[in-house]
Amino acid sequence: DTAVSQTPKYLVTQMGNDKSIKCEQNLGHDTMYWYKQDSKKFLKIMFSYNNKELIINETVPNRFSPKSPDKAHLNLHINSLELGDSAVYFCASSPLGGGGNYGYTFGSGTRLTVV
Amino acid sequence: KQEVTQIPAALSVPEGENLVLNCSFTDSAIYNLQWFRQDPGKGLTSLLLIQSSQREQTSGRLNASLDKSSGRSTLYIAASQPGDSATYLCAVQTSGSRLTFGEGTQLTVNP
């Protein structure tokens, strides 16, 4: 199936741990994103990569480090997890330059719970 | 800074009713506007994409309009069904391929 897939779907971990979320898209898109959805369901962009190059880096703690080994993958590594990091993290992709004629495609999300 | 507002925050209607969800944005310099649907505990499903040069898009029982100059979009759902119950999110694309989301409208369609 053509899609944006992210793993794991659920992640429960203790404060202070380091964890990674993986994302892969097979849509041939050039741009990939990480969005965070907080407890109030508000979605906000964190990072955006074009062909492995970082183009958007919002005001996110530097404990969050995205890594794009190739244009089909964008992983998110989080160091020293804090309670406030608990949220749902969505990966997305789009054609180069944004939605174009086809819009953005989102993954199903990773629900991170820090205890 | 682009801000997107959706009204109402929540809506409950009986099955069969036609309804309108509203979205407004503060900066009219957008590339496109996209409506998404999010079911509880699930990801986002794209419903309709309207380019900045377009006025409306239709898909089945859904019709989305865009008035870029006034910073408004509406999502019209005809003959609502219980399966339409979800949160509907409006998002606008601005420079740098950035998507800015509204906070969503939580729709409940009662049988």
pLDDT category at A2 given cuts 50, 70, 90 is: low
- Section B83-108 average pLDDT: 91
Q: A1 pLDDT exceeds 70? A: no
Q: Where does chain B show beta strands of DSSP type E? A: 4-7, 10-14, 19-25, 32-38, 44-51, 56-59, 62-67, 72-77, 86-94, 98-101, 105-110
**Measured between beta carbons, which residues in chain B are less than 8 angstroms from residue A51?**
none
> How far does CA A52 lie from the centroid of its chain?
14
Look at B101 and A44 and tell me if their CB atoms are within 8 Å: yes
Contact B32, B49 (CB under 8 A): yes
Mean pLDDT within A63-83? 94
Residue among A14, A78, A2 nearest A46 (CA): A78
Burial class of residue A72, CB neighbours in 10 A (0-12, 13-18, 19+): middle
Nearest residue on chain A to B99, alpha-carbon basis: A45
pLDDT score, position B94: 82
Tell me, what's the pLDDT at A60?
87
